[in-house]
Structure 1
Amino acid sequence: MITWQLWCTLLCVLWFYFLWTRRRYYKLIFQIPGPVGYPLVGTGYKMRHNEEVLLTFKHYLDKHGPSYLFWLGPLPYFITTDPQLIQDIFNSPHCINKGFVYKALEDVAGQGLFTAKEQLWSVHRKLFNPVFAHKMLLSFIPIFNAETANLLKTVDKLVDCGGHNMLPVMHGFSLDITSQTTMGSDVKYCEYIRTNKLIEAFQSLADNVTAIGISPWLLSKTVRILLGKEEEYSRAKLEIKEFLEELIDSKLAKGSEAADKNIFVNIAIDMMNRGLLTKNEVIDESITIVFAAFETTANTITYALILLAMFPEYQEKAFEEIRALFPNTGDFEVTYGDTQNMVYLDLIINESMRVLSPGPLVARQTTKEVRLSNGVVLPRGIQIAIDIFHLHRDKNLWGENAETFDPDHFLPHNMQDKHPYSFIPFTKGIRNCIGWRYGLIAIKVAMAKLLRNYKFSTSFKFEDLRFCEHVTLSLETVPLLEVQRRDY
């Protein structure tokens, strides 16, 4: 039987261990405010569920200001919404590595561009930069147009049929364009994609990655087995890797002569043949590209449509701009030049990504001491979280209506005095998103055709939206949209 004296001794040992593991952070603790929390668990217990993450960050942001320390278990996190400090961090050569929470993504996607440490990441980034060059992006526009034509056929079936959750529709569309530009146009006929099993596998992984991010002990396979979370997680990982391995083997068997040189996996296989990549690296990078692109693209389009349905006056302005470019309803070809002429649609997409940030949080880790412009020195090994969601809603940066939807925020005269790191939907600096131009072109092609042909409405109120941190931003309840056909 354990006596109370033994309990006290154990608690003292834990407490001193807690203090000892934090010794390198003592100076920072006295410089930066924030909750200390409890031994071992820190303040992570406040984020037991996905919907609690952003609410918890908001609570401490209001209490301690734009920069504070937060303890997730024994790991200290420097959390900030200060655009100048964010610029310092994103441009520091010692803040390139992703944070500990990305261990879950690394377990899923391997050592790809999204998770690789600095040395490997810098090599792969140089190799793959040409894949997202302007000329290459132009070659993808026919795929964007063709798949958006198919999207119109799907949406047409929803006209005058009551409210619909558009997110599954956009997931299917986004996976179609992402898988084809990554793996080739013939991949859409694969049964694994046609039956939506690839979508289901990716969404299963996204669910588990989020859970692991806020509960790091789930990185242990034993813990996942004990909690009944291992079987589905392992099955989804295995299915995706087997699918890509079979695809790569098939392409290797056919040879490179007939391969489309604009397709990501073909370029990666060519690098493998030249000894620049291993087969596992080709698989990891393919998973990374699809995983990173398909959900963010689907969410951005869906959330923009939801916001336009809630604020119909802005939807009508966008419609008028698009109708001037494309006088006739139905399908039409959108060129790169057309996307550059959609000035008001640009405002809408930017404002949508401001209010509903595609990636609400980004985590980094220091490899050496980093001195910030406010004089604070971040010690080696500290975790950093950039709170993009609340940065984008900061009233000091965006005005009193920062928390509502208003495309006028992005009019030139409203942006000219903004700090360049006040708006970072794709991050910025050394390790910015490699595919941000790709995503914007795909989104604009889809939005142009949807808004030209349909009017979207909803009874759901903007102020009733509730948010979850889910790798990408998720909504507790996705508003249902009613669809009407534009006949003029």
Structure 2
Amino acid sequence: MHSNVVLGTAVAVVAAAYAFKPKKSKTDLEAKSVPVPELPSYLPLQLDTTFSYIVSTLAGKDEMEYLRNMTSKYGNTVNFRGFNEDFIVLLDPSSIQHILAKNQPNYEKGSDFQDIFHEFLGSGIFNADGETWKTQRQLARPHFQTTEFRDSELINRHVDQLLRIIDRDLTANPDSPLEVQNLFCRFTLDEATDFLFGDSINSLEHENSEFSQAFNYAQSITAWRFRVPIWKYVLPTKKLLKSIETLDKFVYKIIDKAVARQEERERRQSSDEAGTKDEGHATLLDHFLSHQKENNFVDREYLRSMLLNFLLAGRDTTASLLTWTMWYLSQHPDVVVRLKQEIMQVVGPIAIPGYDDIKKLKYQKQVVNEVLRLRPPVPFNPKQSVEEDVLPNGYYIPPKTKVAYSAYVTHRLPELWGKDADTFDPDRWGPERVGSIKPFMFVPFHAGPRICLGQNLAYTTAQVTLTRLLQNYEIQPTPGFQPEPLGDIVMFSRNGVQVRIRKKNLADAI
């Protein structure tokens, strides 16, 4: 039988089954609340709305703007129902606060989310709920305390390498624009692997490393699983599993080295070498390994999942922030002038900025926050309800229902941010106006109990890097270039981000 006939028959059977499925009686809570408005659909299983979105994405259209247009038509709480499954998107700050803080235990990652990420991330913190998540977060928190990177030494070491690579590219191609998205992805991959593993990938020097290519592919195909409800039947898995094998090969080597390092440390402590100076500082991996050693076991698979989870959370988010910052600066020379003036006053033209310097760069922090508002690194965040619930606006949430918020759309709502919500304006974060920004209007790092552990590290990395770039280079637009925003797991540009960079000393530029 022809495959199209089989597919058509299957869809018809499923549609009929849903059409004649007996309706459940309403609960008391449901009867007293309001159902979330659904996106209009005219075909069984909402095939028209589901496939229009997929086709739009495949055509390269901006997914976040698609979502924004739909919510502007149908309201700030909308049910994007597909294949007869609810998918509720909410945008107002009170509802975001409800699911992330006030009633956070009722909104988990959920089984569907975990199924999508399982091969890639296992049971790591990004993909975990309940006690598994709590345990990993408690163990990781000390490593992300400000004191771990207060002197910015690790960050500056990798910025040194970044500047060398930029100088090399400028020497080889002085008249060509620089593709900064790829550059920053490599930079933050090196920094993150060093910070988390104690062993850098060195992808700045080796652009097409197997690890970085495998990591990028695993993330890309996993993102498509969110877009395609029947992903198990239509998306490739063979190449994904090969990519994960490449990741595992590298990560397990790192774990084995850490185990050997700990065993050597224990040997020294039990011998005459106890007073020998220990090499380096403890990595996140060392923290987790020490905890396992205390319990007399080493679970290499658990450690592998933990490392890849923190790498995903830390590497691409900071790369996204730096990429979009460079784009906005290339479009706003007046902002660059103010940034450079502040750097000259606080740091100087050539001094290496430390943590204390960064805290004094107030206008720079405003610029970074405005980039995070317009291009939040995680533009869309899905959850799943455990029990039925009612949002502060009165809408009913059924149990076991997908619920998501979009920082991208909330950050651009005119009723929250004014008529200039789409305008890049760092002064909205200045002392005169910042008081109008209320809680949960601005959620680039999530919020509530699951707020990003690496938030301070991301700010510090971005500001140290930005300071040193502006000490050394002029940033100019690339005529005719426009980025194509991609609302993936992390917000990047489909065609990269090109800016022109010219070598110039900060003191000569202002």
- In structure 1, what is the equivalent of residue 489 of structure 2? 471
SS in 1 for 2:447: coil
- In structure 1, what is the equivalent of residue 162 of structure 2? 151
- In structure 1, what is the equivalent of residue 93 of structure 2? 83
Instruction: Decide which of 136, 149, 159 is 1:137's aligned counterpart.
Output: 149
Cα distance, 1:377 vs structure 2: 3.1
2:498 and 2:228 map into 1 onto residues whose CA distance is 31
- In structure 1, what is the equivalent of residue 225 of structure 2? 212
1:31 and 2:35 equivalent? yes
- In structure 2, what is the equivalent of residue 73 of structure 1? 83
State the Cα deviation string for residues 327-357 of structure 1 (Å, max 9, x = none): 233xx42211111011111011110111111
Instruction: Decide which of 278, 287, 291 is 1:267's aligned counterpart.
Output: 287
SS in 1 for 2:342: helix
1:153 and 1:298 map into 2 onto residues whose CA distance is 18
State the Cα deviation string for residues 221-263 of structure 1 (Å, max 9, x = none): x644xxxx33321111111112111221122123352564531
Contact 1:365/1:382 (8 A) holds in 2: yes
Instruction: Decide which of 412, 424, 433 is 2:443's aligned counterpart.
Output: 424
**Unpaired stretches in structure 2, ≥5 consecutive residues:** 266-277
2:26 and 2:298 map into 1 onto residues whose CA distance is 39
SS in 1 for 2:87: strand
Q: CA distance change for structure 1 residues 457 and 8 in 2, over 3 Å: closer, same or farther?
A: closer
1:230 and 2:237 equivalent? yes
SS in 1 for 2:303: helix
Instruction: Decide which of 279, 285, 300 is 2:321's aligned counterpart.
Output: 300
State the Cα deviation string for residues 423-453 of structure 1 (Å, max 9, x = none): 1100111211111111111111111100121
1:118 and 2:130 equivalent? yes
- In structure 1, what is the equivalent of residue 273 of structure 2? none
Amino acid at match of 2:193: S
Amino acid at match of 1:14: A
1:176 and 2:190 equivalent? yes
Cα distance, 1:217 vs structure 2: 2.4
Please give the root-mean-square deviation of Cα atoms over the aligned residues, in Å.
3.0
Amino acid at match of 2:316: E
Contact 1:111/1:281 (8 A) holds in 2: yes
1:356 and 2:375 equivalent? yes
- In structure 2, what is the equivalent of residue 368 of structure 1? 387
Amino acid at match of 1:255: Q
- In structure 1, what is the equivalent of residue 121 of structure 2? 109
Contact 2:383/2:402 (8 A) holds in 1: yes
Instruction: Decide which of 329, 338, 341 is 1:317's aligned counterpart.
Output: 338
Contact 1:458/1:479 (8 A) holds in 2: no
2:469 and 2:374 map into 1 onto residues whose CA distance is 21
- In structure 2, what is the equivalent of residue 287 of structure 1? 308
Report runs of 4+ in structure 1 exceeding 6 Å deviation: 7-10, 189-194
SS in 1 for 2:496: coil
Contact 1:318/1:344 (8 A) holds in 2: yes
1:405 and 1:149 map into 2 onto residues whose CA distance is 29
1:246 and 2:253 equivalent? yes
**Unpaired stretches in structure 1, ≥5 consecutive residues:** none
Map residues 363-442 of structure 1 onto 2, 5 A cutoff.
Answer: 363-442=382-461
Q: CA distance change for structure 1 residues 259 and 234 in 2, over 3 Å: closer, same or farther?
A: farther
Cα distance, 1:277 vs structure 2: 7.0
TM value normalised by structure 2: 0.85
Cα distance, 1:25 vs structure 2: 8.7
Amino acid at match of 1:152: L
Contact 1:261/1:267 (8 A) holds in 2: no
- In structure 2, what is the equivalent of residue 60 of structure 1? 70
Contact 1:21/1:74 (8 A) holds in 2: no
SS in 2 for 1:412: coil
Contact 1:192/1:198 (8 A) holds in 2: no
Q: Percent identity?
A: 20
Q: CA distance change for structure 1 residues 191 and 474 in 2, over 3 Å: closer, same or farther?
A: closer
Q: How many residues get paired?
A: 474
Q: CA distance change for structure 1 residues 25 and 413 in 2, over 3 Å: closer, same or farther?
A: farther
Which stretch shows the higher mean deviation, 407-416 or 276-285? 276-285
